[in-house]
Copies of this chain bind each other. A is one copy, B any other.
């Protein structure tokens, strides 16, 4: 172990111990206290907007010198409008119902005990994300509201912005009588610390990565802690033989073009061969009118000449105005295509046939499965979660859009009257 590693390990130990200690009172914090802290944080952010922008301009200057690309610089940038959006986000989270303490149902068992499941905080959450300072505030707000302590490790290019933002959040915690270590920033840009964090199973209960594929894959491979991860969204719309074709066209165009750079956007359109000839010219014209480049299988090209799709198109997340189209011979073939090439994110059938819709809903193994709706609805806000910390493509604990509830777990609670076991 080099001296540098030792320093890192002790920094993570220190942050971890502090987070664990803070998680205990956080578990018992009332909704009122947590909401107070969130609202106070909003007002501190508004008050300190000059300091935040100064720190951010420092990050932007270093980013320009480092040659960050335009998209990265845009994600890094904070201005008055974005600070106001962050503060409104804090206020919105304060207004959400608190999941902690909820018991949905208490059932009496034959022994006489009353049994239920109570929502509780997970404990300590480790957030690892790219250089987007707004994530510092958004993630901390959701972790705080759900009664967790959080250790934040944002991208190194945003360190100066994050430092000021984290200080604002911690001040709000203290002034609300809560433990300031419920929000901690890894105030060190050494990449080795990410590795330490991923192995800190004594302190951190779950790691949530937010960022591109390479970050998420590193986290998934190295983590010795459960991860709630978000990988690709290769989403499909399947137009069934019994589809309302006008509806199908509207849904396909919306799912592809309403916003194309997001994970719930459409990437591959599957069309039942019985309606290919009537549907394809109409939908392709509508897509091309919106500037979409269409790539089609051989049968697609038989109905309407477009660029030929290659095998790799079926497993590509374009995140751009490109769409692949495949004609399939049956609903079963559509399901098989989706379960083979898809990413188990969001897939939709368009059909007026009851049996077809039921079968699709049952057999497609994705975190969101839809019937006669645009894939773009797979979103925490559209699902009524009020907020979203990410979209999970994992199978356990939580799938799809993750809101406050996904940041909690459940414990069994038993209310007895002196029952003993016979």
A247 within 8 A of B: yes
Chain A 132-164, CB-CB to B under 8 Å as 1, else 0, gives 000000000000000000000000000000000
**Copies of this chain, count:** 2
The complex places the Cα of A253 from the Cα of B339 at a distance, in Å, of 54
Instruction: Check B258 against A420 for contact (C-beta < 8 Å).
Output: yes
The complex places the Cα of A27 from the Cα of B419 at a distance, in Å, of 40
Q: Among the listed B254, B365, B410, which residue makes an inter-chain contact with A421, where contact means beta carbons less than 8 Å apart?
A: B254
Residues of B within 8 A of A417 (CB): 372-373
Residues of B within 8 A of A306 (CB): none
A361 within 8 A of B: yes
**Number of A interface residues, CB 8 Å?**
68
Chain A 322-342, CB-CB to B under 8 Å as 1, else 0, gives 000000000000000001000
Residues of B within 8 A of A113 (CB): 370, 373, 377, 382
- The distance from the CB of A387 to the nearest CB of chain B, in whole angstroms, is 15
- The distance from the CB of A149 to the nearest CB of chain B, in whole angstroms, is 13
- The distance from the CB of A154 to the nearest CB of chain B, in whole angstroms, is 24
A226 within 8 A of B: yes
Instruction: Check B122 against A412 for contact (C-beta < 8 Å).
Output: no
Instruction: Check B115 against A420 for contact (C-beta < 8 Å).
Output: no
Q: Among the listed B226, B369, B396, which residue makes an inter-chain contact with A412, where contact means beta carbons less than 8 Å apart?
A: B369
Instruction: Check A384 against B420 for contact (C-beta < 8 Å).
Output: no
- The distance from the CB of A225 to the nearest CB of chain B, in whole angstroms, is 10
Residues of B within 8 A of A107 (CB): 384
Residues of B within 8 A of A400 (CB): 411-412
Instruction: Check A371 against B205 for contact (C-beta < 8 Å).
Output: no
Residues of B within 8 A of A258 (CB): 420-422
A66 within 8 A of B: no
Instruction: Check A111 against B420 for contact (C-beta < 8 Å).
Output: no
A195 within 8 A of B: no
Beta-carbon nearest neighbor of A113 in chain B: B373
Instruction: Check B411 against A368 for contact (C-beta < 8 Å).
Output: yes
Task: Show 12 residue pairs from A and B whose CB-CB distance is below 8 angstroms, ordered by the A residue.
Answer: A113-B382, A122-B395, A206-B396, A226-B396, A250-B420, A369-B411, A373-B419, A374-B419, A374-B420, A395-B409, A399-B411, A400-B412
Top 9 A-B pairs, shortest CB-CB distance: A373-B416, A254-B420, A376-B421, A370-B414, A247-B418, A372-B416, A397-B397, A396-B397, A368-B412
